[in-house]
Amino acid sequence: MNAQRMQLGAPGGIPWDGEFLRKYRVELLSGITPTTLKQVLDTLLAKRDLIEEEVDLILNDGKTRKDKVRNLLDTLSSKGPGSIGRFKDALAEVDKPSSELVNTLDATEAASSLR
């Protein structure tokens, strides 16, 4: 992560963007459960980061949970940092394992940016 991204800092840790989603894709694919996915989608729909058609595509175009999470990550990457930041917030608020995932990814990124 470059210094400019670090200066953009957001309360609550490292700012997430499309680059972050690509870098930690495997961890996100493994860490987001079906229940978490649905709750995050509901939050993003309520905040107007996603529209109903996008949610339907995310849920119906993927056969497996990982396919659905891939669809979400790909959709968010095209939305920009505001939507990705709200995804991070929603993920952190869903449940304890999801909050721990967010904290772990933030800590990993912070450590890697110090190298």
- The CATH code of the domain that includes 107 is 1.10.533.10
Residue 10 lies in a domain: no
C-alpha torsion angle, residues 32, 50, 18, 67 (rounded to 10)? 40
DSSP 83: H
Average pLDDT over residues 87-109: 96
In a domain, 1, yes or no: no
| Cross-strand bridge partners of residue 32 | none
Read off the tokens for 55: 């949610």
pLDDT in tens, 73-87: 999 999 989 999 999
63: domain range? 23-113
Give the pTM. 0.86
User: Residue 28 falls within a domain, yes or no?
Assistant: yes
Q: What is residue 62's predicted lDDT score, i.e. its pLDDT?
A: 87
Asked if residue 76 belongs to a domain, the reply is: yes
On whether residue 93 sits in a domain, the answer given is yes
Domain count, the chain: 1
* 3 falls within a domain: no
- Contact predicate 71/58, CB 8 Å: yes
In a domain, 13, yes or no: no
- The two tokens of residue 13 are 């840790």
Is residue 84 in some structural domain?
Answer: yes
pLDDT digits (tens, 9 = 90+) for 33-87: 999 999 999 999 999 999 999 999 999 998 999 999 999 999 999 998 999 999 9
